[in-house]
Copies of this chain bind each other. A is one copy, B any other.
Amino acid sequence: MTHDHSSCCGGHGHHHDHSHGDGATGAADLSGPAESPIVVEVTRGGMVESVHRARACIVDAGGRVLARWGDIDAPVYPRSAIKALQAVPLVESGALDAFGLGDAELALACSSHNGEPVHTERVAAWIARVGLTVDDFECGAQIPYDAETAAALIRDGVAPSAVHNNCSGKHAGFLTTARHRGEPTRGYVRFDHPVQQRILGVMEQMTGQDLSRAPWGVDGCSIPTIGVPLGAVAYAMARIADPVDLPDARADAVTRIAKAWRAHPHLIAGRNRFDTAMMQASDGLVLVKGGAEGVGCAVLPESGIGIALKIEDGGDRAREVALAALIRSTKVLSDAQWARAATLLEAPLTSRVGQPVGVVRAAGGWLVGS
């Protein structure tokens, strides 16, 4: 292993010592931009059938890159993996407290939820409390991720609404902040609306990047998603894990967000979902959040580090297994905790009659010995 001679977080807005990484975490090649390695393999019977490649890194709150794979300086759309950052203005503006909202709503603001009743009923009550209705959401309707809930809607003849959108908690947070600040709620998803501009500012400060010329696109829920170097996303996660160098108000906000995220793993996603299962197995030692197109983030408060991952092809199955493997490499969780999370590290594939036919697992050679 070579030492790292670059930090993950150039740009402005922070004052960390960019000392060399110590490479303590893994067996990664730290020699700079490289082809995305194969990190996940999908087996079936006698051979590996498919593989997934990724860029990934593990970073501490000082900006030191502890381990890296592939080009972590290239941008990634972080999508829903950084909902915790998008929730910062909800806390910092005072909106959350002004409307008497609490940790459950804050967790929902950070969630990509299943649309189960436990999620949608809380979002509906929340939006009513701020004097708005489902018609104020601009995220669009979505069939719930949770198959049981989706079937129940069909049986009841109820069309899915924006409340069932997996992002409805985040959008409730946006609307709440706009209401609290007296801003127009209509158009809150647009790039130039104060709601989105505040988030852009949070992203710049937390990632230590000048994003004024960053590429951007429109997310599935209609808000902007900004291209940020993958290493800088991990750095922002590390600063949630260890906010000691953040300004006081921001440190308080991300600490409160992390507490809510940790306290409500079921609200973050829901049943049969990786994020919820991984956090429950970890007894709250790890906060995780996936996003569309294979983006995954993790916050490890005990060790003050952050992880960011982008599956090259955008595959969900690879994001989950690779994120579990990266978390395992940090040695934060015990063997007993991993025993409860065994199917997250190696996900079984079954035929339609339930016969095991293969697995999705970390690729041979990747993270060996971790």
| A interface residue numbers (CB < 8 A to B) | 42, 44-47, 49-53, 75, 77, 138-142, 151, 154-155, 157, 165, 215-222, 225, 227, 293-294, 311-315, 318, 351-355, 357-358
Contact = CB atoms under 8 A, between A and B. Distances in A.
A239 B138 CA distance: 53
Contact of A315 (B44, B227, B315): B315
A47 B140 CA distance: 24
A335 to B, nearest CB: 31
B293 A42 contact: yes
Copies in the complex: 2
Nearest to A317: B314
Contacts of A219: 351, 357
A140 B161 CA distance: 33
Nearest to A313: B313
B315 A353 contact: no
Contacts of A314: 42, 49-50, 315
Given A219-B357, A222-B355, 4 more contacts: A44-B77, A140-B353, A217-B357, A313-B315
Contact of A216 (B46, B139, B352): B46
B45 A215 contact: yes
A312 B38 CA distance: 10
A246 B53 CA distance: 41
A328 to B, nearest CB: 22
